[in-house]
Structure 1
Amino acid sequence: MSAQPTQADPTQPEPIPNDPWAVEASRAQAPRRRPDLSSVPKRSLYALGLLAAARALGLVLIAEAVARGIAGLAASGLAPDATRTILILGVAGALLRAGAEWAASVVSRRVATDVKRGLRRSLWRRIADGGGSGGSGSGGGTAVLAADGLDDLDDYFIQSLPALIAAAVVPLLVGARILAADGVSALIIVITVPLVPLFMILIGKHTQQRTDAALTVLTRLADHLTELARGLPVLVGLGRVDEQTRALDGIQRRYRQRTEETLRWAFLSALALELIATISVAVVAVFLGLRLLNGTMALEPALIALILAPECFTALRDVGTAFHASQDGLSALERAKALLRGPRRRDVRGEATGPIRIDGLTVTYPGRQAPALRAVTAELSGITAVTGASGAGKSTLLAALAGVLPTDAAISGAVRGVDPDAVAWAPQAPRAFAATPREELALYGAAPGALDELGLGRLADAAVAELSPGEQRRLAVARALARVDAGASLLVLDEPTAHLDPVAADLVRAAVLRRADRCAIVLATHEPETLALADRFVSMGDPVADQDAAREGEPRAQESGSEEPIQSGHPSESPSPFTTEPTAGRRSLTLASLLRPQAWLWAASMALSALAAGLAVALTAVSGWLIVRASVEEYIMYLLVAIVGVRAFGIGRAAGRYADRLVTHRATFLVVDALRLRLWRAIAARGAGSRRLLEGGAPLDYLVTLADDLRDQLPRVIPPLGAGLLAVAGTIVTAAFVTPHLTVLVAAVLIAAVILASALAILSERGATTERVAARSTIVRTTAALASAADDLRGNGVADEALRHLDAHARRLATAERRAAWSAGLGAAVITIATTMLAVLVPVLSPDLPAESASVVALLSLALLEPLAALVAAVHRVPALQVLLHRLDAVLSPAPTPQWGTANPDALHRLALDAVTIRYPGTAAPAVENVTAEVDRGRWLVLDGPSGSGKSTLLSAVMGALPVASGTITADGQPITTFDERAWRDRVAWCPQDAYVFDSTLRGNLLLARDRDDAPDDRALRGVLAKAGLAGLLGALGGDLDARVGPGGSALSGGERQRLAVARALLTRAEILLLDEPTAHLDRPTAAAMMADVRDATTERIVVLVSHRRADRHDGDAVVRLGAADAVTVVG
């Protein structure tokens, strides 16, 4: 057998080879990433070209004005006509440059927002069609791609695109003026300029590969975070939060390593380009100085050449810098295109006329040896019940009717007579797109009153994520019924009464019966009373069990219900478990507290940033002094110190920037990684009591979008603020030594410019940066909601309406970004005008000043443009930084958890609840009130009651995830809060309702039950699967424990997912087992067999059961009936 090539794991660091050029040769076959300008309007490209030309003309006019002024001072002074000309040139140049740069930033921002909005539309459409996971499954990576990933395109369209156009325009125009001033300087520039793109290409090819790897790890991080968040109740219930926290830390550490490696190469490229430009300009300056010493060149053209020469290299250097900065965006663009090119979902529904008929439908899932459906043929009319054991293919058949079969399924056959736009669909595991039931119903075109029919009227404005599984199921049925009321001709219901108490189930059945004369109804259920609604049956496998149950069931659904489920103190009626406002007088997250753990690194970062800025300013000033002095000096020895200083300043500036960037980004990553772990632990601490924190978009928003936004803001705020202020102070001090009489003017102009520019930038944005933070959060949350609810939306034909909601959010984000670009450009324009005019005015206002002194102050002013523009940009970002800290601080506020002791419990024999009352924070009504019960080892305690009566809440309190407001929960007579928290959690295992199945293998899901050093062997894994009734599943998979179960367990049926979760709980070493609706989605024989095995396996454990199935109870079980004024305990 031939050896198969192995694929490298993209999350593992590559070995660093000894020969980097060999690496580049080996990567020559990699596809080249070329800029895609097809989506950019040509008028925008022309506008950017004209603006680049205007900027170049402004640079020429500024250089002309400064050179004339300094040369005039070196000669016989400035005549009135010369002064007027200098001022005209200076003002025109300053306005032209400032206006062109401002307009270019606005135009490029508009291009970026339009392109991103179009890409998001396409990506959202792809997700809604069911092909947007890209294999990630969880949708986390896709949500981050649609938000953070595409936002990284800003660097391409706002930096790379204008830089590319400027590189084609500015060197030509500026070079032409240099050629007119001095041909030798122009020749030197022509010879040295090609070195810039040469090094840019060599280093850039290497950086591209590193960036792709970093984005791969980021996508994996996002998917991993989504998986962890959705499965957090499982992790809490199994006591595996700490272990998964370490796994999260490992992933983000690899992401940091990948990104830092990429940044090192990018910064090395910047260092090389900086050195090339510095050395090249130094060569120009040396030739100018020697010719000035020899008297073969005039001062004015020499100054023009010296001032303009760096601009030729800067334009090309900016291309290299922007290229590296835009690699994340281009990688995200390639990832988005790959998703758009991916396989599309096949809809087996054909002709929309005639009776509803299934013709020879066969569906096989990947990794399965036998098809889920085999040549099914049936005609559907009236109320048809699809019957069969758990895993027989019922949900697959209903998914085919709704048009939501998986993309990777092998399908043959057809469904006829179904109009895709006239289907109403309530799936087995419903997912909502909107935040509240009212908004969800509005999306489906229904009034909120539709909720009253199913007893959900009081929850219209509650958070959908806080609803219990039963309430979410009723919401799914309500929106499907609303579709029927709007004209849908086919109603498809998958387990519509699972998780429901008898009263709520009666409401659902009555509502379905009221639509029986308006549409065909196809349903799947294991509830006898619901099966009794059917007048036709389609059998999947053994038809006996369910149909017999249907005949035995009493159809209790009437035309109207007389009761409503209990609505007492449900958390969904309350505010969020954490408020968005920090607690008064307490801030757990401030900028100082955030930076404090890495204070020394941040201090080094600010020092290096200030050093680099100071060296850059000194380089320009000393270069000007050197040229002017050379025009009057006879001996070169007098100038050697200055010549050495210029070389040192140039090399020091490049090296300082390189070190500054490395240290700054290192500090940033360490800070954000530590914060991300704090956020995860805070979410985990609240997870059992706040389903809202666990919905797919919320953890992604906090752990990825907001954390990464903070990561982007910190290096753009902290170092520039310090460097800019120190640069202003240094310039004022220098002016005091060189030109004392101009010190006040220099200080006044610079300080006023910074204050005015900062004020205008903040005031003119009108909250745009803070609105941008909120809009990005909304987009990542709604994209995650779209990925989660795509099948629900598609099956009900309302995907277009959801996409319109998403596009509205994208439009708001685009508006905020454009307003922010406009205000930021205004601040930069003020700085450009102020520094330019100060440079022009120095010789005009001081006609008696020595020329070399005037050149120092004038060129210092021009050199201050970069650090002061960065300073104003940093101030412009401060409001956004404050909003980020504010939003993240709300999550980090102390969670309401029990105060634990230090005792270690012995073997447990009795669990008791004594008048236990539980109240969610911020609510008046208790969720659970006055519950008293006890249960001994080997016995079962059953919690009974209608939906919303607090059964799952009580389980959370027993587990220790929620504090009790009054009363006590004791183990062998000791309050559980006297124990060590970890010790108690190890004694309790919780299997929640619709327990999440992770996108892994059967083995991977089962191994979560124990620590790694106590991992069960294959025999134990197979044994526990058999106890949960999954021996048949294992056989269908060829006995492969490493078979993947799909995202959220999508490769399994609902009943198989539930049994896998029960098997996982049985595998733990816990002495107290909490089972929440373990037999939901199971047929009666399967449920009875599984529960019998569970009872046999728990003879030495305490079991607390929540179930609406009376068959799950045994004589002798203690029963607590919730929902009355006082909880009633019935023994036996």
Structure 2
Amino acid sequence: MALGTAGAASGAATIATAFALTGVVVAIARGTGLRAPLAWLAAIFVVRALLAAVTEYVAARAGAAVSTALRRRLLAAWAGAAHAGSDSSATRLTLATAGATSIEPYVARYLPALIAAAIVPAAAVAALVFVDWQSALVVVLTLPLLPLFAALIGRTTAEQTQKRWRALADLSGHFLDVVRGLPTLVAYGRAERQVGDIRAVGEAHRRASVRTLRIAFMSSAALELLATISVAMVAVAVGLRLAHGSMDLQVGLTAILLAPEAYWPIRRVGQEFHNAADGAATLEAALPYLDADADADGAMAVEQDAERPATGAPEVGVHGTEARAGTGVGVDRLVFGHRHRAPILDGLTLTCPPGSGLTVLTGRSGSGKSTLLDLIAGVRTPDGGRVVAGSAHLATQRPLVLPGPVVEVLRLGAPDATEVECEESLRVVGLWPALAERQGLQTRLGDDGFGLSAGQRSRLALARARLSRAPLLLLDEPTAHIDVDDADALRGVILDEARRRRVIVATHDRAFLSAADSHWELQPEPALPTPSAPSTADGVSSPGSTTPSPRNGGTLSWWQRRPVPDRLRLASLLGGLSMTAGVALTATSGWLIVQASTQPVVLTLLVAIVGVRAFGIARPVLRYAERVVSHDAALDTLAERRVGVYRALIPLAPARLGRRHRGDLLTAVVTDLDDAVDEQVRVTVPWWSTLIADTCAVAIAALVIPAAGMVIAAGAAASLAAARLGSRAESAAQHDAVVARGASLRVTTDLIDRLDQVRAVTGVHSPLDPPPLRAVAAALDRQGEAERRLIRSRALTLAGLWGVLTITVAATMLTAAAGLDAGEVSGPLAALVALTPIALADAWLGLAEVGGARARARRAELRIDDLLDQRPAIVDTGHLTLPDGVVPVTARGLSASWGDRQAALGPFTLPLLARGVRSQLTGPNGIGKSTMLAVLARQLTPTSGIHLLNGLPAADVALADARADIALVDDEPHAFAGSIRANLVLARPDAGDAELAAAISAVDLGVWLAQQPDGLDTPVGGLSGGERARLSIARAIVSRRHLVLLDEPAAHLDDATAERALTGLTAQVGTTIVAVSHRPLPVLDVPNPGVEGDTWRSAGNHPGRPVSAR
């Protein structure tokens, strides 16, 4: 409503401007009184300044409000619906971040243009009918051509926009995948080689964007060219009638000034069309989710227990309230499978007794235990059958730990838990002593619980589960990462919970069976190997492969081969010439009309007529060229800078990046870089283009009336100064807005990246917003407040520029009238000078956005610098090589820390790790076992002690040379979003198919590989924790490295599977193995013939039990 009212008022003011401007020019040309018409024109300009400021404010507020509402509704829909597997987190992330942001220009720019296009042309035509019906007839006959051409071009633009969105989703998804797996890429020396893939994905996005923008810019140019031709037809008719003496100057000039206003709103729609394309694509992509959310009540995937309160009120608390009778759990003929694969669960029927108690779920790795828990919790949707369960809290294998204080992590599952309850729960699970040494409940954790060991994260998840009020507790491998000596205590905590509510535990820990009142065992029928098409490595890209950049091939235009600075200078020149053509068009048209009114010989007007046509054609053509060149240069810069940022992140992984949100990284690499590089398109080129046009306009006016040239020069300087002041005024608001936007994107990324885990912890179809949604809402509220301050500052800058324009126009017209009165110029030349500053209006008013873009770019650069300005955890100062590998390894008195403010763990002393030694490192959670592995893997520099690689100081050995002989399998191994082959060959690109298949069989995944529809070329997806661990061990086998470091390799494996998988690893001749594990790994205790030093013991500085290494 407000936008419509502002649009109607602006349209009326625009038409009034044409009448007032006609009165002023006619008064100048005829030498009559100028005071009254000039006062009217100034008053209308003041009204337009106020309307422009109000419209800017209202439109920007509306855009921000719609964007925020869309993001909230999408997140609410995703958080409250079971995962159907039909889309990726990258797609959702793109839609909720860049997609929702694209709604802002759609609402703030495109919709006001549409409103103006619906009001102003009709009003202009009505006014033309009143002034000159013949001119109105020409406009009525030509005006429909513009929307017709716009519709034809828009259809192609929509198709290209969809491709661009897919490219953007690929970019976001690829970057998130790379960030998750960056420690793996660094460990295997493939991080630098990934630069090629980053460049290729960025180049694909650049090319898709350029194709879309070319069409959008062409549509704008075509509409402007059509409008120019149409206005020229009116001008020719008016000019001939003036020359013939059949039309009055005031009528003819009014018609000439009104005609462009009929076309201008539609031209503006074309100019804003590329913004509309992105926004329309976002709305189209979002509608299915919003529709599904509206129908969610009728489409629940989990049938809630009939005795559970309809409101979903909590039934069980931390104070021992008994679970209600009838809270039974069961599945009936359940079917679930990943797309294009055999079902994991097929016709499964299970039940457990009602009420409280313990149900133990066992089965081999990959049999579907975690999937079954997901289905019971409602996190996934079954393909068939039925699930009957009450509301549940699921603690997954990878505990949900969002960055922030520990108390907030606990309250994800129990929003109303007090600090006393939180502390007590942490004490019960044995985690409080470690946190009390830090900041207690306010201890800040990084992404995925960085700052805690795997066992401590498991304890934290159990503490949160205790606080949950859900009547059903689902625990997935709760003791997998717990030290053997502590496991009994944790099992006791779980049994206490089972006395109060139903607890279902998926585990390989057989000690739970003796206390269970029911036992579910998944024993899928052994699948027969199915033949698959032969696999070849041709054309397969791995996470570590270098894909040739498309920009290096094909035919490039001459200007595309120029360096980016040269292209920006070219774009600035083209933009300046386009603006100058507009100035010349307006000025020459004014001279032509006034000159024609003197009824000269028509031949004397031909040069001016040709000039008007040339300027009219040149303006849109040059503008199109400028936009294509500038955007291509900016996107080229963006692709290269994105690669540069990725390169800068490599030395920071994993020690320094673990403290950062992945949302911060995505914001820096996508959003902040966009804003920083956007300075080229929205600041550099417009600024210099305006300066060129100002110079030409000053020169034109000065040639006719020198004083007028000085006035226009002063106005140009004032407009540039006003834009500078506006930029400074916006700087503080921009800082707050950028920080707030970064925070909202961070929490949005945190939520989307872990949607299944969030639903598992907070519950599906909860009547209350889960805490992560409330965190997003709070961040969006802060962003909205910061952006409101920014919008107010921008509106004031725009009003100030209107003031500069008003004063300049009035002063120029007075100067032109004085020159005419003094006999220095003729009436037509005086009209030419008087109209010159009017032609600069769009350029000057556009400087408001230039100032805002400058402030936004500077703040974005500061955020990027803050991310990258970190000291790497390890500095490559070595120069020595290791032709015979890293073994033997010496480690004496080693201490290390993950951060400058974190106390060093250690010292640790390990006996000589000679070739073929197999050793196991055990000890309580948090003592530093994983830290020790990081030192051995050359990911951390020890703060003290002696670390030798093959007799050489580790610091003196080139980092790449040392890491080239070390394979690392961390506690939560990452599987890249590629094929099985791609995940393996990153360890050694020249590995053949037979070797890859042998490595997979060695870790007991041979049958699993045989089930894959495309063999080694099957995309990785739906892996269980145990399958990920074994795939990572297979990668270590493929690498043929002499030192293999394993962090909890058997945590998600049953004893038999773990023994088979590790036996395959130990069969590799000459491999030295160091394994961190809380479970005994007997296969590592088997004597290795001819090797001494298989067992050793070491102690750290932990106040509890020492580390032991066997």
| TM-score of the two chains, using structure 1 as the length reference | 0.84
Measure, in 1, the Cα distance between the counterparts of 2:710 and 2:83: 62
Aligned counterparts, 1:71-220, within 5 A: 71-78=26-33, 83-84=35-36, 86-130=37-81, 135-137=86-88, 139-220=89-170
Task: Indicate if the aligned counterparts of 1:928 and 1:953 stay in contact, CA closer than 8 A.
Answer: no
Whether 1:725 aligns to 2:694 is no
Q: CA, structure 1 residues 903+136, in 2 after alignment: closer, same or farther (shift >3 Å)?
A: farther
Name which of 509, 512, 515 aligns with 2:491: 509
In the alignment, which residue of structure 2 is the partner of 1:234? 184
Task: Indicate if the aligned counterparts of 1:58 and 1:92 stay in contact, CA closer than 8 A.
Answer: no
Whether 1:906 aligns to 2:895 is no
Amino acid at match of 1:1003: R
Measure, in 2, the Cα distance between the counterparts of 1:691 and 1:73: 68
In the alignment, which residue of structure 2 is the partner of 1:617? 583
Measure, in 2, the Cα distance between the counterparts of 1:984 and 1:706: 35
In the alignment, which residue of structure 1 is the partner of 2:342? 369
Alpha-carbon offset, residue 70 of structure 1: 2.3
Measure, in 1, the Cα distance between the counterparts of 2:12 and 2:724: 27
In the alignment, which residue of structure 2 is the partner of 1:1106? 1076
Q: CA, structure 1 residues 265+791, in 2 after alignment: closer, same or farther (shift >3 Å)?
A: closer
Amino acid at match of 1:430: P
Name which of 199, 210, 222 aligns with 1:260: 210
Q: Which moved more, 1:428-437 or 1:754-763?
A: 754-763
Secondary structure of 1:432's counterpart equals coil
In the alignment, which residue of structure 2 is the partner of 1:583? none
Q: Which moved more, 1:777-786 or 1:214-223?
A: 777-786
Measure, in 1, the Cα distance between the counterparts of 2:524 and 2:266: 74
Whether 1:1083 aligns to 2:1049 is no
Task: Indicate if the aligned counterparts of 1:1003 and 1:1042 stay in contact, CA closer than 8 A.
Answer: yes
Amino acid at match of 2:410: L
Measure, in 2, the Cα distance between the counterparts of 1:468 and 1:143: 22
Aligned counterparts, 1:566-581, within 5 A: none
Measure, in 1, the Cα distance between the counterparts of 2:975 and 2:627: 43
In the alignment, which residue of structure 2 is the partner of 1:945? 923
In the alignment, which residue of structure 1 is the partner of 2:646? 680
In the alignment, which residue of structure 2 is the partner of 1:926? 904
Alpha-carbon offset, residue 888 of structure 1: 0.9
Secondary structure of 1:993's counterpart equals coil
Measure, in 2, the Cα distance between the counterparts of 1:669 and 1:833: 35
Alpha-carbon offset, residue 691 of structure 1: 4.9
Task: Indicate if the aligned counterparts of 2:1046 and 2:1076 stay in contact, CA closer than 8 A.
Answer: yes
Task: Indicate if the aligned counterparts of 1:468 and 1:948 stay in contact, CA closer than 8 A.
Answer: no
Task: Indicate if the aligned counterparts of 1:425 and 1:492 stay in contact, CA closer than 8 A.
Answer: yes
Measure, in 1, the Cα distance between the counterparts of 2:468 and 2:1046: 40
Whether 1:854 aligns to 2:830 is yes
Alpha-carbon offset, residue 867 of structure 1: 0.8
Alpha-carbon offset, residue 109 of structure 1: 2.8
Measure, in 2, the Cα distance between the counterparts of 1:797 and 1:820: 35
In the alignment, which residue of structure 1 is the partner of 2:21? 66
In the alignment, which residue of structure 2 is the partner of 1:796? 761
In the alignment, which residue of structure 2 is the partner of 1:1006? 984
Whether 1:992 aligns to 2:981 is no
Q: CA, structure 1 residues 713+773, in 2 after alignment: closer, same or farther (shift >3 Å)?
A: farther
In the alignment, which residue of structure 2 is the partner of 1:317? 267
Measure, in 2, the Cα distance between the counterparts of 1:55 and 1:1058: 65
Q: CA, structure 1 residues 859+248, in 2 after alignment: closer, same or farther (shift >3 Å)?
A: same
Task: Indicate if the aligned counterparts of 2:243 and 2:598 stay in contact, CA closer than 8 A.
Answer: yes
Task: Indicate if the aligned counterparts of 1:143 and 1:780 stay in contact, CA closer than 8 A.
Answer: no
In the alignment, which residue of structure 1 is the partner of 2:530? none
Q: Which moved more, 1:203-212 or 1:458-467?
A: 458-467
Alpha-carbon offset, residue 1124 of structure 1: 2.2
Measure, in 2, the Cα distance between the counterparts of 1:393 and 1:134: 16
Whether 1:879 aligns to 2:855 is yes
- What are the superposed Cα offsets for residues 742-765 of structure 1, whole Å, 9 maximum, x if unpaired? 4554444443454346535753x5
Measure, in 2, the Cα distance between the counterparts of 1:975 and 1:144: 46
Amino acid at match of 1:1009: A
In the alignment, which residue of structure 1 is the partner of 2:776? 806
Amino acid at match of 2:1004: G
Q: CA, structure 1 residues 509+615, in 2 after alignment: closer, same or farther (shift >3 Å)?
A: same
Secondary structure of 1:925's counterpart equals coil
Secondary structure of 1:92's counterpart equals helix
Alpha-carbon offset, residue 690 of structure 1: 3.4
Name which of 310, 325, 332 aligns with 1:360: 332
In the alignment, which residue of structure 2 is the partner of 1:916? 894
- What are the superposed Cα offsets for residues 300-341 of structure 1, whole Å, 9 maximum, x if unpaired? 222222223222211111122222331111112212224445
Q: Which moved more, 1:1054-1063 or 1:57-66?
A: 57-66
Alpha-carbon offset, residue 688 of structure 1: 2.0
Alpha-carbon offset, residue 874 of structure 1: 0.7
Aligned counterparts, 1:456-495, within 5 A: 456=432, 457=435, 458=438, 460=441, 461-465=443-447, 467=449, 471=453, 474-475=456-457, 477-478=459-460, 481-482=463-464, 484-485=466-467, 487-495=469-477
Task: Indicate if the aligned counterparts of 2:678 and 2:853 stay in contact, CA closer than 8 A.
Answer: no
Task: Indicate if the aligned counterparts of 1:130 and 1:791 stay in contact, CA closer than 8 A.
Answer: no
Amino acid at match of 2:366: G
Secondary structure of 1:297's counterpart equals coil
Secondary structure of 1:326's counterpart equals helix
In the alignment, which residue of structure 2 is the partner of 1:35? none
Measure, in 1, the Cα distance between the counterparts of 2:341 and 2:215: 46
Name which of 418, 425, 429 aligns with 2:398: 429
Q: CA, structure 1 residues 356+1123, in 2 after alignment: closer, same or farther (shift >3 Å)?
A: farther
Alpha-carbon offset, residue 149 of structure 1: 0.8
Alpha-carbon offset, residue 374 of structure 1: 4.5
Secondary structure of 2:269's counterpart equals helix
Secondary structure of 2:192's counterpart equals helix
Amino acid at match of 1:793: V
Name which of 609, 616, 626 aligns with 2:592: 626
Percent identity at matched positions?
A: 32
Q: Which moved more, 1:243-252 or 1:771-780?
A: 771-780
Whether 1:954 aligns to 2:920 is no
Task: Indicate if the aligned counterparts of 1:464 and 1:472 stay in contact, CA closer than 8 A.
Answer: no
Task: Indicate if the aligned counterparts of 1:1119 and 1:1131 stay in contact, CA closer than 8 A.
Answer: yes
Q: CA, structure 1 residues 708+933, in 2 after alignment: closer, same or farther (shift >3 Å)?
A: farther
Amino acid at match of 1:419: G
Measure, in 2, the Cα distance between the counterparts of 1:348 and 1:464: 36
Secondary structure of 1:153's counterpart equals helix
Task: Indicate if the aligned counterparts of 2:239 and 2:596 stay in contact, CA closer than 8 A.
Answer: yes
- What are the superposed Cα offsets for residues 32-88 of structure 1, whole Å, 9 maximum, x if unpaired? xxxxxxxxxxxx2xx43332332222223322233222212322431xxx623x144
Name which of 639, 643, 652 aligns with 2:618: 652
Measure, in 2, the Cα distance between the counterparts of 1:188 and 1:382: 85
Task: Indicate if the aligned counterparts of 1:991 and 1:1074 stay in contact, CA closer than 8 A.
Answer: yes
In the alignment, which residue of structure 1 is the partner of 2:522? 540
Task: Indicate if the aligned counterparts of 1:504 and 1:947 stay in contact, CA closer than 8 A.
Answer: no
In the alignment, which residue of structure 2 is the partner of 1:964? 942
Task: Indicate if the aligned counterparts of 1:132 and 1:787 stay in contact, CA closer than 8 A.
Answer: no
Alpha-carbon offset, residue 739 of structure 1: 2.6
Q: Which runs of 5+ in 2 are unaligned?
A: 309-324, 526-561, 821-826, 1088-1092
Measure, in 1, the Cα distance between the counterparts of 2:1042 and 2:740: 47
RMSD over aligned Cα atoms = 3.2
Task: Indicate if the aligned counterparts of 1:56 and 1:97 stay in contact, CA closer than 8 A.
Answer: no
Alpha-carbon offset, residue 654 of structure 1: 1.7
Alpha-carbon offset, residue 152 of structure 1: 0.9
Whether 1:828 aligns to 2:805 is no
Whether 1:667 aligns to 2:633 is yes
Name which of 666, 672, 682 aligns with 1:716: 682
Task: Indicate if the aligned counterparts of 1:469 and 1:499 stay in contact, CA closer than 8 A.
Answer: no
